Amino acid sequence: MDVPASLLRYAEPGHGIAPAEDLLRLPGFWPAWFGQCWGGPAERPQLFGADGADVDAAAQSLYETSEVWPALRIPMAGGHLLWIVLRNFPEDGGVDYLLTHPDWTRDAPLASIEGHFSGPGLSWPELIAVADGTPADAEGVRDPARRLLLLLPAFGDADVPVAAAVSRVAVALTAVGADAERAPAVARVLLDHPFWDGPSWAVPGESPLSGGRERPGPLAVCDGRHSPRTVPSGPGGLTAAQARALAAALTGAPPR
């Protein structure tokens, strides 16, 4: 799959982007991945039975490749593709979650994990729907457990069903090699995001005071002040039709 032109423009000057799902096979991948946001117990190699040298090697492959930035692709319904780009500028590194679609002229930022962070980009229901919603024959990360864990840094929601969420994340951690007894405790850490403090999500509607009926908008809106999703048109100023299609991709519902 070719890298969209919008992403190549975003990577300039002097940097490329290349799909790098092979990085998921590195024995130290998951400790290195979780260390970039949470650290602490989620970063300890022992949780995944990884050797410290393997974690260092994985971190180098993830975060120190500056000429061609590695990217992990999460295919979604309706032709949408979420690119997780490791933006390895020497002094301005970060992990960017960027939505693309063949009909869009530019990408739509969903979240950024960096010093000047941006997010969240996903509510809990959306996180689960995207993790489970792999289209048939799509390129990129297809396994629901891996999709869920890769998407966790972009997630934040005050209305999480805690017991079910801890169980779901713990199962995903175990599926990628984490110790089953310790996985629930680490899942609680991962659900407590250090960048945004449990913002709320709501589907906007037309006010009855205007004479209209309550009518849900196309996309849920986040009240977090750092989120790209504070308006019904979604991230990047999508058209109404694009927002409806993206809402369907994020929720697993049929397009309206």
Neighbours of 74 (CB within 10 A): 24
Radius of gyration in angstroms for the set of CA atoms belonging to the chain, rounded to a whole number: 18
* Residue 138, in any domain of the structure: yes
Least confident segment among 138-152, 175-189, 212-226: 212-226
- Give residue 212's pLDDT: 43
For residue 216, what pLDDT is reported? 47
Q: Contact 43/165 with Cβ under 8 angstroms?
A: no
Q: What pLDDT score was predicted for residue 217? A: 55
**Total tally of structural domains belonging to the chain:** 1
3-state secondary structure of 56: helix
For the stretch 51-106, pLDDT in tens is 889 999 999 999 998 889 999 999 999 999 999 999 998 777 899 999 999 999 88
**What's the pLDDT score for residue 157?**
95
65 touches 142 (CB < 8 A) = no
**What CA dihedral angle connects 115, 34, 228 and 86, to 10 degrees?**
70
Cα-based distances in Å from 27 to 12, 59, 164, 222: 31, 11, 28, 36
The answer to whether the CB of 156 falls within 8 A of the CB of 198 is: yes
Predicted pLDDT of residue 42: 57
Confidence of residue 1 (pLDDT cuts 50, 70, 90): low
In this model, does residue 207 exceed pLDDT 70? Answer: no
- Rounded distance between C-alpha atoms, residue 234 and residue 244, angstroms: 10
Domain holding 172, by residue range, is: 5-251
Percent of the chain with pLDDT over 70: 91
Residue 92 corresponds to which tokens in the numbers above?
């301005």
Categorize the per-residue pLDDT at 41 as very low, low, confident or very high, splitting at 50, 70 and 90: low
pLDDT for position 213 = 45
Answer left, alpha or beta for residue 179, where phi above 0 means left and psi between -120 and 50 means alpha: beta
Name the DSSP letter for residue 189: H
Q: Three-state DSSP class for 243?
A: helix
Residue 189 lies inside a defined structural domain of this protein: yes
Position 117 in a domain: yes
pLDDT tier for residue 173 given thresholds of 50, 70 and 90 = very high
For position 221, what pLDDT does the model report? 93
Q: Is residue 121 part of a domain?
A: yes
Residue 123 lies in a domain: yes
Per the domain annotation, does 256 fall within a domain?
A: no
Distance CA 64, CA 51 (A): 19
- Per-residue pLDDT band for 198 (boundaries 50, 70, 90) equals confident
- The more confident residue out of 50 and 17 is 17
